[in-house]
Amino acid sequence: MILVVGGEKGGAGKSCIAQNLAVWLKREGNDVLLVDADPQKTSHLWAQERQANAALIELPVEHGMGDLRKLLLDRANRYAAIVVDVGGADSVTLRSAMTVATHILFPLRPKRRDLKTLANLEHLVSLTLPVNPQVIVRAVISQAPTLPSQVARILDAKEACESFGLQPLNALVCNRNAYDDADESGMTVMELGTDPKASEEINQLATELWSI
């Protein structure tokens, strides 16, 4: 399993989602590698915080940039699951990772500036499918508002994804303080344990994504 968490725009919570999904897989008994392919090294810095806490489950993290195909295919011989955190840009790193992925996840905020990237994401997928026809591609609405009055924004965002041929997951990742609090400590929301709703969001996201 090679999951690529990417997109064309920063700030959508890609690193947070990649980190939480990697630990979720590890807690399920999988041998997992998290690959930080973001120039900002967000997950690498998170991992450094994590290593300082011996009570947390060990999670190997590597940093890689550029053409990732050789790296990912090599690591796939050693790990049952690889989660790749790719920076928010259309890059060689993203495009190469997509060609060897088993799953691709595009987190998108229900905001116009994020949804405007859908046309290029559709283009990236169209370039990937001829060389990787079996890959599973999904979008997930991230940093979603929790107020009931904002449900229409979420539904509109999902409809926009569908209009560009990107199927959105039913699961959402909402805008919750627990995600930031966990990140600052090298943890996930499941390990932080202060917000059961956030933990359940990650569980629903992971369960839906890997049941496809």
Per-residue model confidence as pLDDT tens digits over 51-76: 989 999 999 999 999 999 999 999 99
| pLDDT of 89 above 90 | no
Tell me: the pLDDT tens digits for 98-142?
Answer: 999 999 999 999 999 999 999 999 999 999 999 999 999 999 999
pLDDT band at 148 (very low <50, low <70, confident <90, very high): confident
**Is the model's pLDDT at 208 over the cut of 90?**
yes
pLDDT recorded at residue 100: 98
One-letter-per-residue 3-state SS of the chain: CEEEECCCCCCCCHHHHHHHHHHHHHHCCCCEEEEEECCCCHHHHHHHHHHCCCCCCCCCEEECCCCCHHHHHHHHCCCCEEEEEECCCCCHHHHHHHHHCCEEEEEECCCHHHHCCHHHHHHHHHHHCCCCCCCEEEEEEEEECCCHHHHHHHHHHHHHHHHCCCCEEEEEEECCHHHHHHHHCCCCHHHHCCCHHHHHHHHHHHHHHCCC
Q: Which of 10-14, 101-105, 174-178 has the lowest mean pLDDT?
A: 10-14
140-147 average pLDDT score:
95
**What per-residue confidence (pLDDT) applies to 10?**
85
pTM of the model as a whole: 0.96
Residue at 57: amino acid letter: I
Paired tokens of 99: 């060609």
Task: State the Rg of the chain over Cα.
Answer: 16
